């Protein structure tokens, strides 16, 4: 570089670039024009200034051109930006070391910059000159043949003669002349050429530009020849659309490989899928064809796809069958086949190989759910099995020697360079030119790969599959495609979450999906009554389609998603549409689902990598074969302590965010939150609790909005404890317990169950409501004049009625032992006076059934006939037999939690349920209550009435011994 000098520089707006030997005209505003006129007047010779492209307001390009000011004139335009017009002639290149110090820069402005003039280089190489002459001659020939004006044609011919006669030393100057004369050059290409100082580099860049322009000219001419030029003016729109379609076909032929590396295909940026329906049609069909090529050879899905593709090509586009086959091909190719190369990388095996997998899974479960320790323990076991099976399968595959693999690797050696390489490089340059405005990466790699693939011996034209090239080299025509380790592994037990609504069954499935880094899909089976909704409709039906399993696979986009079968207990029963529950047997059977058959697809689909999780509210309506395939995990519900933690950690922040508030706006006290949980909600889950908290937050949001509007305060981030403005609007961020009735209304659940009375014939049993919430239920009995019958009321089912009869029979058989009668043969309901016993269970509108009230009914009958009373702090549950044995019952955790909430301190349970208390009931609850586990009714009566309250007549049989 020569010494630096400070020169006046004219900034050129985009896309104007002044190259050496070129002449341009530019407009200047009033200040810049006057300044340039002053410089011209002060200059002794013809003024030379610098020009520089202004790429942005903060920076100019580092290279520019020294230009001679040919003419400066004042225009007659009224626009202030076009006060002067200047004509410049480019002379030589200039380098500007400092391009940012004078920022901001305005286009068409006259500034001063330090400029350096590069030193002249030596003569160019013979190879560069020869390549340049050939490319320039070819371009000039194309331009001369394509133009319709004789004057332009003569100019191109003269330049061709000059090119032949010019010496090698003058070829860089000739390159500047020709490049400056090309009007359709890209702005970035002009800048890159301007920065080429070395003569060899300048000739190389010019050659690339000439090849690009010549190729564009060839493609344009080919497109123009493929369209009928005799179309009338009324068909102008059709002509333009045909031209766009032809251009798009040429682009797809060049960039198909690079644009379709991803499974779903990649559209160039800046192109809308709504621009041209014909363009979208061509892209969709190319995508379908690419996915068929990606399928494993000799696989069932590829055979079916190739057969349907051939039919699709033969059927006219206006036929109804054409649309049916197209729809089928779209579904068939959108399924993530495990053997397809398009989905080869879509697995989560890397996640399973991580040594911190289980630790991360525990952290994920703890973040998503509070409590449920037993459930989390089972899920961690489940994920551990999944991880071990994956690692074991990968180890087995790595130990198997594969001769075919060795052959394949040896056949994949890089091909030798052929004569087509020059053509492929030219095509790459054309692709870069045509796609430079649509994609950051011009797709040169994809074109080279395509050209190299065409040079391989396995040409696509030899595959014989309707123009579908072979995707992989074949090692044997009869050998089936081998699946990888992922297809063999990861098949754990199918979990069935059973529990009341709102206990987190669905969110647990989502946590498992996040822990495994797999897509999550939910299929709601509630109300499904048609087998075709699971297996799909056959293609012979109108508007047929695949079933919900295939639809979930398509949405997931991977062969190993986590699919949640929600509400499996509410699936429809068998009818004339088929049995949907029976259709699930194949889906949930690990021995069969590797070849699941959907009626619409009609190709075996591998579901062995899918992790199925089912949810249900009860087990009674699930068929036995379907239940046998699942491992049952019970979610019994949350304690009040767990609900309070969930409300603090999850529900309250969620509602604050949903209602536009922050934690500084509301402080919900512990007594208020506990009252919401106990008096305004009664459920095993937390949905009603979330709705109640949301109502409180919305009430405070209204108060805060009214205060902000009335006070005119724009800063809503800082909230004092209590504010009162002049208009009388108050806002108190602390929500107390006594304010809940004003906000939520009268409590739905009162404390009636805590106010109990001790009276004859009244005993408290333990129940589980239909909402999964435990509680106590009084069992009331009275004696009325009658004929010795038992009357049962309270919407009782058959089982609970039988329990009442069993209880009365047991009392009658032990009436003599309990001093109710004086003789064993006497009936306590007829002696001394005939009476009837009326047993009633309150809440008559609620249906009740089950055997768990047996011992409570027995104690009620004993209390009624003996006059002894059971204390009000005692509750019981258990089944009774005629022998007086106490059988186990279910729902122990819910019943114990309900008793604790009702302030029951002593609970009588069957001996067989002691393990349920130890495993399910929280330790803090066990510490506050007394549990009595009974085997017989004698132990129950002693625990219920107290030791020594009931008198027993123990008769002993005396037998005479004879020898």
DSSP state of 778: E
d(CA 580, CA 705): 52
Q: Residue 520: how many CA atoms within 13 Å on its side-chain side?
A: 15
Query: Residue 918 is encoded by which pair of tokens?
Result: 């130890």
d(CA 250, CA 268): 14
Give how far the C-alpha of residue 239 lies from the chain's centroid of Cα atoms, to the nearest Å: 43
Task: Give CA separation, 826 vs 788, 805, 823, 837, in Å.
Answer: 12, 18, 6, 16
Q: What DSSP element (H or E) covers 330?
A: helix 320-334
d(CA 804, CA 825): 22
d(CA 50, CA 11): 9
| Active-site choice (895, 915, 955, 961) | 895
> Which residues pair with residue 835 across a beta bridge?
785
852 is catalytic: yes
User: Phi, psi (5° rounding) for residue 905?
Assistant: -105, -15
Give how far the C-alpha of residue 296 lies from the chain's centroid of Cα atoms, to the nearest Å: 27
d(CA 353, CA 332): 31
Q: Considering only CA atoms, which of 611, 603, 609 is closest in space to residue 296?
A: 603
d(CA 766, CA 879): 12
d(CA 415, CA 398): 29
Q: Is 835 exposed, middle or buried (0-12, 13-18, 19+ CB in 10 A)?
A: buried
Query: Residues, the chain, total?
Result: 963
d(CA 257, CA 446): 5
Query: Residue 572 is encoded by which pair of tokens?
Result: 């429809």
Query: Residue 377 is encoded by which pair of tokens?
Result: 């323990």
> Which residues pair with residue 631 across a beta bridge?
495
Is residue 876 within 8 Å of residue 926, measured between CB atoms?
no
Q: Is 963 exposed, middle or buried (0-12, 13-18, 19+ CB in 10 A)?
A: exposed
895 is catalytic: yes
Query: Residue 637 is encoded by which pair of tokens?
Result: 């519900």
Pairing between strand 63-74 and 84-95? antiparallel
Q: Computed from CA positions of residues 297, 299, 301, 303, in that sequence, does the dihedral angle turn out positive or negative?
A: positive
User: In 226-319, where does DSSP find H-type helix?
Assistant: 236-259, 277-294, 300-314
Opening angle at CA 752, ends 746 and 756, nearest 5: 165
| Active-site choice (215, 636, 852, 863) | 852
DSSP state of 831: S
Q: Considering only CA atoms, which of 761, 764, 952, 779 is closest in space to residue 868?
A: 761
Number of Cβ within a 10 Å radius of residue 776: 23
Helix (H, G, I), strand (E, B) or coil at 8: strand
d(CA 601, CA 823): 79
Plot region of 466 (φ>0 → left; ψ -120 to 50 → alpha; else → beta): left
Number of Cβ within a 10 Å radius of residue 237: 8
User: In 592-626, which positions are buried (b, 16+ CB within 10 angstroms) versus exposed (e)?
Assistant: ebbebebbbbebebbbbbbbbbbbbbeeeebeeeb
Task: Give CA separation, 810 vs 2, 413, 788, 941, in Å.
Answer: 119, 89, 15, 13
Q: Is 59 exposed, middle or buried (0-12, 13-18, 19+ CB in 10 A)?
A: middle
List the catalytic residues.
Answer: 852, 895
């Amino acid at each position: 570089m020569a010494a630096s000098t400070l020169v006046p520089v004219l900034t050129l707006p985009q896309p104007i670039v002044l190259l050496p030997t070129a002449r341009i005209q530019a407009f200047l505003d009033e200040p810049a024009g006057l300044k340039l006129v002053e410089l011209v007047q002060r200059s002794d010779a013809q003024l030379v200034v610098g020009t520089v492209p202004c790429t942005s307001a903060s920076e100019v390009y580092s290279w520019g051109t020294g230009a001679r000011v040919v003419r400066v004139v004042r225009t007659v335009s009224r626009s202030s930006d076009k006060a002067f017009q200047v004509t410049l002639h480019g002379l030589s290149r200039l380098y500007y070391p400092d391009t940012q110090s004078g920022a901001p820069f305005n286009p068409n402005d006259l500034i001063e910059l330090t400029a350096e003039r590069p030193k002249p280089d030596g003569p160019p190489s013979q190879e560069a000159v020869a390549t340049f002459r050939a490319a320039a001659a070819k371009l000039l020939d194309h331009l001369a043949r394509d133009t319709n004006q004789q004057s332009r044609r003569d100019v191109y011919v003269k330049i061709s003669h000059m090119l032949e006669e010019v010496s090698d030393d003058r070829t860089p100057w000739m390159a500047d002349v020709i490049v400056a004369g090309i009007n359709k050059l890209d702005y970035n290409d002009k800048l890159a050429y301007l920065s080429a100082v070395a003569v060899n580099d300048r000739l190389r860049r010019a050659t690339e530009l000439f090849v690009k322009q010549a190729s564009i000219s060839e493609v344009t001419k080919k497109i123009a020849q493929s369209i009928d030029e005799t179309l009338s003016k009324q068909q102008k729109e059709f002509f333009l659309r045909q031209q766009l379609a032809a251009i798009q076909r040429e682009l797809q032929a060049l960039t198909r490989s690079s644009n379709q590396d991803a499974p779903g295909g990649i559209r160039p940026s800046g192109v809308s899928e709504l621009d041209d329906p014909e363009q979208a049609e061509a892209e969709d069909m190319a995508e379908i064809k690419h996915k068929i090529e990606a399928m494993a050879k000799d696989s069932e899905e590829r055979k079916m796809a190739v057969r349907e593709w051939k039919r699709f090509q033969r059927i006219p586009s206006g036929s109804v069958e054409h649309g049916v086959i197209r729809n089928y091909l779209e579904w068939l190719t959108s399924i993530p086949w495990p053997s397809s190369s398009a989905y080869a990388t879509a697995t989560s095996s890397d996640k399973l190989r991580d040594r911190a997998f289980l630790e991360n899974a525990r952290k994920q479960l703890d973040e998503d759910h509070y409590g449920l320790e037993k459930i989390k323990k089972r899920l961690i076991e489940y994920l551990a099995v999944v991880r071990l099976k994956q690692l074991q399968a990968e180890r087995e595959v790595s130990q198997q020697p594969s001769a075919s693999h060795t052959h394949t690797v040896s056949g994949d050696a890089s091909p030798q360079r052929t004569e087509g390489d020059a053509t492929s490089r030219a095509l790459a340059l054309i692709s870069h030119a045509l796609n430079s405005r649509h994609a950051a990466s011009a797709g040169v790699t994809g074109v080279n790969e395509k050209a190299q693939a065409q040079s391989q011996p396995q040409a696509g034209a030899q595959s014989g599959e309707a123009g579908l090239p072979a995707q992989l080299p074949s090692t044997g025509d009869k050998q089936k495609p081998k699946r990888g380790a992922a297809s063999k592994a990861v098949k754990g037990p199918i979990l069935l979450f059973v529990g009341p609504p709102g206990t987190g069954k669905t969110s647990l499935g989502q946590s498992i999906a996040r822990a495994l880094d797999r897509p999550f899909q939910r299929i709601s089976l509630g109300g499904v009554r048609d087998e075709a909704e699971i297996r799909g409709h056959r293609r012979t039906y109108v508007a047929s389609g695949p079933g919900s399993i295939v639809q979930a696979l398509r949405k997931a986009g991977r062969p190993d998603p986590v699919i949640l079968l929600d509400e499996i207990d509410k699936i429809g029963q068998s009818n004339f549409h088929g049995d949907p529950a029976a259709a699930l047997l194949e889906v949930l059977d690990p021995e069969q689902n590797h070849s699941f058959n959907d009626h619409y697809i009609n190709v075996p689909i591998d579901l062995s990598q899918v992790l199925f999780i089912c949810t249900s509210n009860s087990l009674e309506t699930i068929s036995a074969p379907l239940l046998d395939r699942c491992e049952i995990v019970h979610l019994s519900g949350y304690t009040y302590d767990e609900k309070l933690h969930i409300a603090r950690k999850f529900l309250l922040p969620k509602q604050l965010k949903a209602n536009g508030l922050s934690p500084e706006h509301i402080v919900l006290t512990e007594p208020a939150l506990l009252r919401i949980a106990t008096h305004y909600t009664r459920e095993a889950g937390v949905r009603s609790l979330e709705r109640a908290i949301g109502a409180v937050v919305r009430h405070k949001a209204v108060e805060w909005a009214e205060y902000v509007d009335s006070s005119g305060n724009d800063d809503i981030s800082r909230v004092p404890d209590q504010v009162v403005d002049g208009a009388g609007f108050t806002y108190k961020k602390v929500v107390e317990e006594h304010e809940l009735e004003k906000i939520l209304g009268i409590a739905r659940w009162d404390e009636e169950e805590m106010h109990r009375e001790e009276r004859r014939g009244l005993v408290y049993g333990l129940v589980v409501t239909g909402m999964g919430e435990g509680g106590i239920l009084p069992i009331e009995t009275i004696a009325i004049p009658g004929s010795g019958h038992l009357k049962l009321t309270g919407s009782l089912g058959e089982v609970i009625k039988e329990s009442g009869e069993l209880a009365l029979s047991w009392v009658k058989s032990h009436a003599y032992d309990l001093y109710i009668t004086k003789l064993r043969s006497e009936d306590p309901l007829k002696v001394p006076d005939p009476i009837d016993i009326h047993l009633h269970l309150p809440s008559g509108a609620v249906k009740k059934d089950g055997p768990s009230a047996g011992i409570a009914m027995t104690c009620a009958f004993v209390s009624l006939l003996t006059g002894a009373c059971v204390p009000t702090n005692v509750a019981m549950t258990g089944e009774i037999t005629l022998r007086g044995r106490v059988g186990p019952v279910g729902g122990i955790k819910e019943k114990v939690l309900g008793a604790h909430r009702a302030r029951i301190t002593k609970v009588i349970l069957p001996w067989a349920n002691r393990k349920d208390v130890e495993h399910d009931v929280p330790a803090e609850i066990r510490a506050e209550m007394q549990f009595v586990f009974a085997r017989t009714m004698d132990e129950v009566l002693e625990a219920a009435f107290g030791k020594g309250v009931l008198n027993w007549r123990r008769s002993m049989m005396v037998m005479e011994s004879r020898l």
